[in-house]
Amino acid sequence: MFAEKRFARLARRFLHTTPVPLRLQLWNGQAFDLGPAPAVTITVKSPSAIRALAAPDFSSLGEAYVHEQIDVQGSIGEVIEAVGALVRGAQKRAARWSRLRATAHTRRQDAQAIEHHYDVSNDFYRLWLDGNMAYSCAYYREGNETLDRAQEQKFEHICRKLMLHEGERFLDIGCGWGGLMLYAARNYGVQALGITLSRNQLELARERILRERLADRCSVELLDYRDVPEVHKFDKIASVGMFEHVGLRKLPQYFGKVARLLADDGLILNHGITTMDPQSRSVGMGAGKFIDRYIFPHGELPHVSLAVHRMSEQGLEAIDIESLRFHYAKTLAAWASRLEAAQVDARKLVGEKRYRTWLVYLAGCAHAFAQSWVSIHQILAAKADRKGMQPVSWTSQHIYRN
């Protein structure tokens, strides 16, 4: 009886202040609508799950869903929208950003974090990624492209920004399953080295190199960026979806290493998620807490201004900065939709808990990018001291030519 009264008060409060298109269904069949025409239903499966809704945030509700204390009805996109409205309504006075966190980011910690995230199962990622298995923000020129097309456009966009030429030495830091590296070798004739900390990625990338007969142009190593030999310089370097794992305190070391690996007339393209908070604090409302616990252990996001500042301290001059926030919101929404559509196979591969974790993570991140909680930037940089060389390029026409 106490629980029913509590939910009734909650429903009345939302109905009269900030209606949410959400129905709360209790274990005994009683239901409470928090707004007219609810499109989403959250079923509270037992009295023990009440605490998730006592002071709801993305972490408590996400955990309750992962551990099957609550169930949801509605598309995952609608669910996240409704939960977002519920959390905002319940936490109107709460801070948008949580406290600044800092992790040591030792080689061992970083390797364990990558293993936790990426060594789930290659077959699992195949269910919802594109054919090239590009696990980073796609690039939509028109907005109506397929995911496969948008990911190839991302590869092309990066290659054009880097002005790749045949025979150049190209380093792909955090190469994933090798999509960008293979594209650059196949279409631009570069000599490419990819590095990753994921054994699953390493094995598949090497298989793809052999299958595409590119062993004379491509190689992949299980290697921390800090351990890449500095004997030979690279003409061009790309880091896509990797520097989120570096850590705020390690950014000087990271960009310093990049600068030492880069040829004097070379270019570096850093493509990574950034926070919208100028103080580089993590996202609040429980979202950052959930991601850190279940998905990206020790992940830390800098504001774009901090990233550029740290690059500049290491002698790298930012010459082009582009936000792809809307592109990533669309990419993540596509991933979530594809995973939801493949839920039967996903559950067989990784189990119910991990399926739920990834579904709510992908859909929640799509919501975060759409709501401007986080962003993503491509920063193209060159060495600041270019010793009287000509400009990298007088214009950016080469990036957008047909």
146-154: Cβ within 8 A, 24+ apart: 147/331, 147/334, 147/335, 147/338, 150/327, 150/330, 150/331, 151/179, 152/183
Task: Supply 294's token pair.
Answer: 């279940």
Q: Of residues 137, 159, 218, 365, which has the active-site annotation?
A: 365
Residue with the two structure tokens 């039967």: 344
CA 251, distance to chain mean position in Å, is 18
Tell which residue, 6, 89, 102, 15, has the closest CA to residue 49.
Answer: 6
**Residues contacting 383, CB < 8 A, separation 6+:** 259, 262, 264, 265, 266, 315, 316, 317
* Known catalytic residue at 218: no
Contact assessment for residue 63 and residue 360, using Cβ atoms and an 8 Å cutoff: no
Identity of the residue numbered 67:
H
- DSSP string for residues in 299-345: ----BHHHHHHHHHHTTEEEEEEEE-HHHHHHHHHHHHHHHHHTHHH
Tell which residue, 337, 301, 304, 317, has the closest CA to residue 391.
Answer: 317
Residues with a catalytic annotation lie at 365
